[in-house]
Chains A and B, each alone.
Chain A
Amino acid sequence: MVSIEDYGKYETAWCPGCGNFGILKAIKQALVNLGKEPHEVLIASGIGQSSKLPHYLKCNAFNGLHGRSLPPATGAKVANHELTVLAVTGDGDCYGEGGNHFLHTVRRNPDITMIVHDNQIYGLTKGQASPTSEIGMKTKVQTHGVFNMPLNPLSLAISLDCSFVSRGYAGNIPHLTSLIEKAIQHKGLSLVDVLQPCVSFNKLNTFNWYSERVYEMEDTGYELNDRVKAFERSLEWGDRIPLGVFYVNDKPSFEEHQEVLQSGPLYRNKPEKEKIDPLIDSFI
């Protein structure tokens, strides 16, 4: 049986009290609850404090470039679809630098769980606005306050017909754990946008701020495959902020479209040299 200890214990470079700790804990617990061994799990990440996460638990990891967690995750999943692949990223990483990959990975729908540490600020570069920062938030760069409309990741994902759309909160670890479990179990691309307080740079969206507003949606609030209702729900942001699964759409995954993967993982195929000769002959 796999245990939390199997995922190791590491020193981190995160600030004390950071919301990332809650997310790390929830990911570990979810993997253990699902009985996943460390060698069966691959986490791809980009750049940012969020993206250091794979260094703080024992599993396969590809910590790549800023904004680019999704393409390597997709490549790895297609090469070996027996792996449980997670893409761990941040709001700047995923919705800013990697926005194009976000759009197209949703369209592609690989069986990957995308966990976005959404703290509404740039932490690693010390406190500039992110794509999800609230209008009016003042920073050393946005000296007059943020004017740009914040991106709503859930509405965007639902509009793209993302296969699984959810929101968690780093301050509610049991709820987040169950959300991540559901996301991993879901076949297709799963988005878990996690509200994650940045204790150093975001003085607006603090633990208190979130805790006063978030609430767990009842599972029976509406049918999870109702895209319009899900969209309406995703627009709810203010005094009350819903947590939970917004939308589920069971559609074939990227890997399921690849017939060649039906016989086993791609990387295991042996080159079939005898097929080359007829191909060469076709040029004669």
Chain B
Amino acid sequence: MNIDLNLKIGGAAGQGLQTTGMTLSKTLKKSGFHVFATQYYLSRVRGGHNTFQIRISDSPVYAMTESVDLLLALDAASIEQHMAEVTDGVVVVDKDVIEVKEDQNSVFHVPMLKIARDVCGDKIYSNSVSLGAVIGLLCLEMSDLETILKLSFRKKGEEIIQKNIAAARAGYDHVKENYPGGCKFAVSEPDQKDDLMLINGNEAVGLGALAAGVQFLAAYPMTPSTGVMTYVAANADRFNVVVEQAEDEIAALNMVLGASFAGARSMTTTSGGGFALMTEALGLASITETPAVIFLCQRPGPATGLPTMTEQGDLQFVLNAAQGEFPRCILAPGTPEECFYLTAEAFNIADRYHIPVFVMSDQYLADSLFTLPRFDASRVEVERHLLTDQELRTKNEEYRRYKITPVGISPRALPGQVGTVVVADSDEHDEFGHINEDPDNRIKMNDKRMKKLEVLREEMPAPKIYGRPDASITLIGWGSTFGPLAEVVDILNEKGRSVNLVHFTHIHPLPAEEARNSLSKAKKTICVENNSTGQFARMLKVDAGIDVTGHVLRYDGKPFSPEFIINALKEKEVI
């Protein structure tokens, strides 16, 4: 890694932070850099102090780092809170607007407001001035920024495009003329420009659902899950999807179950608080053996918790949600790439086993932008496992929706198919679906449902091992922490340590034997989780009898950075 720069934009909500950050991310990706961008925002529409952080490199990057090379300060809080993070970098600030008390060498004044007014006649162009200034300080050319501005303002017409470009160029020129040496970072564009995607976790889940042929989505908006719903809704017409905003989460999952029962591939999206309301219908999905995909994007709880921040605090809840005992499946992607493929896989598992399948993400993965190789849609198979009319006709017995079979999966017909009716019931029922309270029937039906879990367990793949197989320290992670953990492995191994990562995406039913095999050579195992009690480590103990040596836990609402993990390992004297 020759280039590794961290750019931070700080400002209040409503100041155009996200647009500026997105435009800059797209520009730098276009220039051929690998980009990782993450947001920190508060639960309010205007005001507060938010940040948009962009890391660029000539190698793949999947995590944020803590030291800042370039701080674009759009509010006073940016100076107060982040000045110390800029050790050897530059702070871009409009001193006409923001008072900077100590005149430090790192501060570089760009009169964004004045330039915007002078060049374009309106202060709203000051964000574009700042973009030009950043590109200038990076010693890059203007052409990629101009291309991205053209694309971004396409719908607003030629005049707006030209004004934004003029503003950006004026910011760029200001740097060339006033910054000592003309620019700060000797960054040159990578020669090899890969065909990479710039995508966040939520968009990738939405894309995965569309690739898997989702037909119905009902949900109640809840941060940080809403992005999936809006992404699918934006493409619903082209992909023949019905998206309905339900009156509450209770209705959302119940609607999904009705639609799925009648044959539509269906999903819902929510966060922990919304899922709390869905737990009743979760049990219904299971006893009626109705396929459902539940996208659960975690944020810190309990109750309303920290609405815009991140945590992996809902694993044990999802594992145990709803009364009674029944099978469910939990998948936890670590990158947008896995969001795409695992969401598609979730639909197939739901349709094959007739169970609820969770895709568990969190705010960090949902909102962070990654550069990734192009997704391969041809790898997505759509498996419905439905009885055809022909198969139904050639059956010589009356159709039984809940027929007892060796694997616990019964043939699935749909309401409306000629010659039969399909009956589902939330009560314990017989093979036909009718209420049956007989103890023997209860045992048979319970066993039939639970059997599916054991069959599915056989199919769950082993965790991925990142780094050397025989390391002396093994980090264990699940879901979204993949990026920072993989980076920790690289950093420590480069420094002569011997570290690897065993990372789980297929969480439940836990492939216990594979988990034991993967960890059989591990000498010291440290489970790293974004929660305060080590929920996944507990699962490893209960489901696979694996005891970890230690934990690194974070639960302040923020995601892991490699530095945080390395410091914690030092504190615990693991390294």
Contacts and interface: CB of A to CB of B under 8 A. Distances in A.
Contacts of B242: 78, 258, 260-261, 266
A75 B421 contact: no
Contacts of B256: 75
B435 A52 contact: yes
Interface stretch (B100-108, B211-219, B534-542): B211-219
A189 B28 CA distance: 53
B574 to A, nearest CB: 38
Nearest to B212: A271
B257 A269 contact: no
B436 to A, nearest CB: 10
B401 to A, nearest CB: 10
A100 interface: yes
A44 interface: yes
A95 to B, nearest CB: 15
B377 A80 contact: no
Nearest to B415: A60
Nearest to A71: B254
A149 interface: no
Contacts of B195: 284
B415 A39 contact: yes
Contacts of B43: none
Given A42-B415, A63-B426, A284-B197, A80 B263 contact: yes
A1 interface: no
B281 A68 contact: yes
A55 B434 contact: yes
A265 B416 CA distance: 11
A28 to B, nearest CB: 14
A259 B237 contact: yes
A280 interface: yes
A275 B239 contact: yes
Nearest to B422: A60
Contact of B425 (A63, A104, A265, A279): A63
Given A42-B415, A267-B262, A55 B196 contact: no
Interface stretch (B174-182, B245-253, B461-469, B485-493): B245-253
A58 B452 CA distance: 29
B288 A62 contact: yes
A279 B207 contact: yes
A267 B258 contact: no
A63 B215 CA distance: 23
A261 B254 CA distance: 21
A280 B207 contact: yes
B254 A78 contact: no
Contacts of B251: 68, 70-71, 100-101, 104
Contact of B247 (A61, A101, A283): A101
Interface string A255-277: 00011110001111111110111
A62 B261 contact: yes
A42 B244 CA distance: 21
B216 A72 contact: no
A283 B197 contact: yes
A73 interface: yes
Given A65-B426, A83-B262, A100-B248, A283 B257 contact: no
Contacts of B375: 280
B250 A42 contact: no
A236 interface: no
A75 B258 contact: yes
B536 to A, nearest CB: 30
A76 B207 contact: no
A266 B216 contact: yes
A70 B397 CA distance: 32
Given A68-B281, A74-B258, A76-B415, A59 B421 contact: yes
A38 interface: yes
Contact of A260 (B240, B266, B415, B426): B240
Given A61-B433, A277-B377, A271 B425 contact: no
A79 B258 contact: yes
Interface string B65-109: 000000000000000000000000000000000000000000000
Contacts of B382: 271
A65 B262 contact: no
Interface in B177-197: 195-197
B207 A276 contact: yes
A131 interface: no
Interface string B198-215: 110001000100111101
B61 interface: no
Contacts of B213: 269-271
Contact of B380 (A76, A78, A266, A273): A273
A76 B259 contact: yes
A42 B262 contact: yes
Contacts of A275: 238-239
A64 interface: yes
A275 B259 CA distance: 24
B324 interface: no
Contact of A79 (B263, B280, B422, B433): B263
A194 to B, nearest CB: 22
A279 B235 contact: yes
Contacts of B216: 75, 78-79, 266
A96 to B, nearest CB: 14
A273 B378 CA distance: 8
Interface in B267-296: 280-281, 284, 288
B416 A82 contact: yes
Given A62-B288, A266-B215, A280-B375, A55 B435 contact: yes
B528 interface: no
Contacts of A47: 426
Contacts of B139: none
B414 interface: yes
Contacts of B261: 62, 72, 75-76, 79
B424 A272 contact: no
B377 A68 contact: no
B426 A64 contact: yes
Interface in A122-138: none
Interface in B360-408: 374-375, 377-378, 380, 382
B496 interface: no
Contact of A60 (B198, B207, B248, B416): B416
A68 B248 CA distance: 12
A54 interface: yes
B260 interface: yes
B45 interface: no
A40 interface: yes
A61 B433 CA distance: 9
A72 B421 contact: no
Contacts of A270: 213
Contacts of A241: none
Interface of A: 13, 38-40, 42, 44, 47, 52, 54-55, 58-65, 68, 70-80, 82-83, 100-101, 103-104, 108, 258-261, 265-273, 275-277, 279-280, 283-284
8 nearest A-B pairs in the assembled complex, by CB-CB distance: A75-B258, A271-B213, A72-B258, A267-B263, A75-B259, A60-B415, A71-B254, A79-B264
Given A63-B425, A75-B257, A272-B240, 14 more contacts: A13-B435, A47-B426, A61-B433, A62-B257, A65-B284, A75-B258, A75-B261, A75-B262, A79-B216, A80-B262, A80-B415, A270-B213, A273-B380, A277-B377
17 contacts: A13-B435, A44-B258, A54-B423, A55-B435, A68-B251, A70-B251, A72-B254, A75-B256, A75-B259, A76-B258, A77-B258, A79-B258, A101-B247, A104-B247, A260-B241, A271-B212, A276-B377
